[in-house]
Amino acid sequence: MKIAILPGDGIGPEIVAEAVKVLKALALPLEMETAPVGGAAYEAAGHPLPEATLKLAQQADAVLFGAVGDWKYDTLPRPLRPEQAILGLRKALGLFANFRPAICYPQLTHASSLKPELVAGLDILIIRELTGDIYFGQPRGRRSAPDGPFAGAEEAFDTMRYSRPEIERIARVAFEAARQRRRKVTSVDKANVLETFQFWKDVVTEVHRDYPDVELEHMYVDNAAMQLVKAPKKFDVVVTGNMFGDILSDEAAMLTGSIGMLPSASLNERGQGLYEPSHGSAPDIAGKGVANPLATILSAAMMLRFSLRQPEAAARIEAAVQKVLADGLRTADIAGEGCTVVGTAAMGDAVVRALG
């Protein structure tokens, strides 16, 4: 099992080092190779996604990615900016399914935007389609309005579209993921208004015939936004399009309250994936040894589950993280009363010890 390790910029190298430490402690036959990405790669090789880095990622079963970006690159031309590395990797690897779990550990309910009783034990998974929808649909542009009450005025337009195979593959991913969880999928749409999402709903319903053991419910996006803050624990897997998923996944992230705890994964049709924390490179705390490595460590657990087919090793890491939190260890971003504040490396060491 080959893993491409791309630490990136800012706190990226610090947090990825801890995840690598945890992976090594599992004593699995993992082959890990590191390559520069983002600003670090621009400094080293003149490009945020050098050919050698891309090749390594393509040949690996999975990519463990830290974070990229720093204000100092803001003046570079767009194709050379660090963020282009993620877009380039998404495209080259054909990543179409973005997994964003929102888990609220019992010890961290104080960090949530919601009341503790609403989020204690929360464990939901938002799956966002990444390649289609109004973000990429053609045609788009600006023109003189051809009709309507403002005919002749300047207007802008985008095109919302989804094809059957695009919806089918993301629906299958959602049903498969639900089988490893509580066997419930909520498909979020706006079928009452949008033809694209009536089609989405129809296709998801058809695919569901292959998964009779999984419960399927349909929900309008406005209601889903409301239910996520009213009763988030009613969800298990939420699957939706690119734009609704963008918004709902950020909303769900806030239920847990701590950006330093949130992993993410992006998968392609071959099961290869890119795994990274949901946060950025945090230049404000880089190099200080205080960053929370748990989002990256939990991303490594997702990698074991979804790309490397090692669910037991994944569960071991997740249990170790829970144990460390239960023991009262915290990095500064999640500190609360009566707990012990530790740095990045000490947190990684504690997770390794808790693996048992």
Mark the binding-site residues for Mg(2+), compressed into ranges.
222, 246, 250
| Cβ contact 255:113 at 8 Å | yes
The reply on whether position 333 binds ligand NAI by CB under 6 A is yes
Token pair in block for residue 235? 């969800």
| Cβ contact 298:314 at 8 Å | no
Minimum Å distance from CB 91 to Mg ion?
Answer: 18
Q: Dump strand ranges (E) for 15-169.
A: 31-34, 62-67, 97-103, 123-129, 141-144, 154-157
The span of 103-111, 184-192, 196-204, 291-299 binding ligand NAI (CB under 6 A) equals 291-299
**1 or 345: whose CB is closer to ligand NAI?**
345
CB 143: neighbour CB atoms within 10 A?
Answer: 10
Q: Dump strand ranges (E) for 21-158.
A: 31-34, 62-67, 97-103, 123-129, 141-144, 154-157
Whole-angstrom distance, CA of residue 34 vs CA of residue 41: 12
The conformational region for residue 121 under phi > 0 = left, psi -120 to 50 = alpha, else beta, is left
The reply on whether position 337 binds ligand NAI by CB under 6 A is no
Whole-angstrom distance, CA of residue 168 vs CA of residue 205: 10
State the DSSP code for 13: H
Residue 248 interface partner, choices Mg ion, ligand NAI, none, CB cut-off 5-8 Å depending on type: none
Whole-angstrom distance, CA of residue 185 vs CA of residue 200: 14
From the CA atom positions of the chain, what is the Rg in Å?
21
Residue 284 interface partner, choices Mg ion, ligand NAI, none, CB cut-off 5-8 Å depending on type: ligand NAI
Token pair in block for residue 11? 């706190």
The span of 90-98, 124-132, 290-298, 301-309 binding ligand NAI (CB under 6 A) equals 290-298
User: Out of 240, 292, 299, 310, which residue is the one contacting ligand NAI (CB under 6 A)?
Assistant: 292
The reply on whether position 20 binds ligand NAI by CB under 6 A is no
Window 251-270: contact mask with ligand NAI (x via CB under 6 A): --------xx----------
Minimum Å distance from CB 39 to ligand NAI?
Answer: 8
Residue 291 interface partner, choices Mg ion, ligand NAI, none, CB cut-off 5-8 Å depending on type: ligand NAI
Residues binding Mg ion (CB under 5 A): 246, 250
Token pair in block for residue 273? 């994936």
Window 70-109: contact mask with ligand NAI (x via CB under 6 A): x------------x--x-----------------------
User: Out of 281, 299, 307, 310, which residue is the one contacting ligand NAI (CB under 6 A)?
Assistant: 281
Catalytic residues: 135, 190, 222, 246, 250
The reply on whether position 41 binds ligand NAI by CB under 6 A is no
Residue 236 interface partner, choices ligand NAI, Mg ion, none, CB cut-off 5-8 Å depending on type: none
Interface positions, 107-136, toward ligand NAI (CB under 6 A)? none
Query: Could you tell me whether strands 97-103 and 123-129 are parallel, antiparallel, or unpaired per DSSP bridges?
Result: antiparallel
The reply on whether position 300 binds ligand NAI by CB under 6 A is no
The H or E element that residue 38 is part of is: none
CA 339 to chain centre: 28
Determine the size of the site formed for ligand NAI (CB under 6 A): 22
Token pair in block for residue 1? 């099992």
SS3 label, residue 23: helix
SS3 label, residue 6: strand
**81 or 201: whose CB is closer to Mg ion?**
81
Residue 314 interface partner, choices ligand NAI, Mg ion, none, CB cut-off 5-8 Å depending on type: none
The reply on whether position 283 binds ligand NAI by CB under 6 A is yes
Residue 245 interface partner, choices Mg ion, ligand NAI, none, CB cut-off 5-8 Å depending on type: none
Nearest partner of 264 among 251, 273, 255, judged by Cα: 273
The reply on whether position 284 binds ligand NAI by CB under 6 A is yes
Interface with ligand NAI (CB under 6 A): 11, 15, 67-70, 83, 86, 259-260, 276, 279-285, 291-292, 295, 333
